[in-house]
Amino acid sequence: MDSVVMDAVVVGSGAAAYCTAYDLAEIRVKTLLISQRIQERRNSSESFHLMQLPHSGTKDLKYITFDAIARWNVIQKAAKLRLIKSAPLVYLARDQELLETLEKNISYIGLQPKWISIHQLDQEYGCHIPDDVLALENPAAAFINNKECIQAIHDLFISAGGKLMDDWSIESITMEEPYITLHGNNGNILAKKLLLCPGPQEDDLLCSLGIDSLTRKVKVESQHSICVEKLPTLSAIAKTEADYKYICSNMMQQYPARLKV
């Protein structure tokens, strides 16, 4: 093919690459997305993903989660689709202080958490949880299906005037003003800006572009201990295929499954 000239070229995979490309196309930047194929595997960006507010991790992660959900709300409104599916999260713990802290955090964002009796959980879902365990429902949790989300952003990107190339092989990159040139076996692409969103295959993609990410794949030996109590860990209980009702999260110990590397 002949040389293609673009204002911006996005190279990457998954939601990060599609969102970046869509944001540019939406503000009328002439954008090309070179989409890299990613392996489909469990817990990858091709599967279901759980979002919960407030995030129980570090403060930075909490803000990232807030921003992510706000962005997905904008995307699903633009796509006129229901991408975020409510899935109230039930926390299980013997530590009442821990659950009370979570209750305050949930109330702070304007939602009302609910204490649930273990008898009620046992009756409805057959969980067989010990009587001394406490349960708190977080109504702010939700599922997204990444395949659905990526397809929605793909459609929005194309409708905004974006161009897409799947698995276009990049052999080398040269930078001479005013363009960055991506050389491939099917021709060249000239771009004023190049954005890399490598996703799960970061090392392979960056190395193919002549960029050393300073990371190496190494083999390690690991030892792990698993919580022996037979309780729900992280399982979705679906009323129907499209309506996820509860996710049970095991908080019986501070570290229910430790991993030592």
Q: Considering only 35-39, 126-130, 212-216, which range has the smallest mean pLDDT?
A: 212-216
Last residue of a domain, one of 198, 216, 234: 216
Q: Are residues 72 and 147 in the same domain?
A: yes
Question: Minimum mean pLDDT among 158-167, 186-195, 223-232: which range?
Answer: 223-232
Domain identity same for 79 and 150: yes
One domain, residues 118 and 147:
no
Same domain, 174 and 236: no
Give the model's pLDDT for residue 33. Answer: 94
What is the model's pLDDT at position 133? Answer: 80
What residue numbers bound the domain in which 254 lies?
A: 88-140+218-261
Is residue 204 very low, low, confident or very high in pLDDT (cuts 50, 70, 90)? low
Strand ordering across the sheet containing 234-240: 114-116, 134-138, 89-93, 243-250, 234-240
Same domain, 93 and 211: no
CATH number at residue 2: 3.50.50.60
Judged against a pLDDT cut of 80, whether residue 10 lies above it is answered with: yes
Share of the chain above pLDDT 90, in %: 21
Is the model's pLDDT at 190 over the cut of 90? yes
pTM listed for this prediction: 0.69
Residues 121 and 162 in one domain: no
Domain count for the chain: 2
Q: Are both 121 and 20 inside the same structural domain?
A: no
How open is the CA angle 66-258-95, to the nearest 5 degrees?
65
Q: Do 168 and 249 belong to one domain?
A: no
Q: Which residue has the higher pLDDT, 160 or 121?
A: 160
pLDDT tens for 22-50 read 999 999 999 999 987 665 554 444 456 66
Ranges 128-132, 144-148, 249-253: which has the least confidence:
249-253
* Per-residue pLDDT at 253: 40
Please, which pLDDT band fits residue 250 given cuts at 50, 70 and 90?
A: very low
49-98 per-position pLDDT tens digit: 667 665 555 566 667 777 888 888 899 999 999 888 777 777 777 778 87
Residue 224: the pLDDT is: 44
206 in the same domain as 163? yes
Specify whether 76 is located in the same domain as 92.
no
Mean pLDDT across the stretch 152-157? 95
pLDDT at 230 over 80: no
Task: List the single range of 98-112, 119-133, 239-253 with lowest mean pLDDT.
Answer: 239-253
Tell me, yes or no, whether 16 and 68 share the same domain.
Answer: yes
pLDDT of residue 259: 35
- 115 in the same domain as 103: yes
What is the pLDDT at residue 43? 44
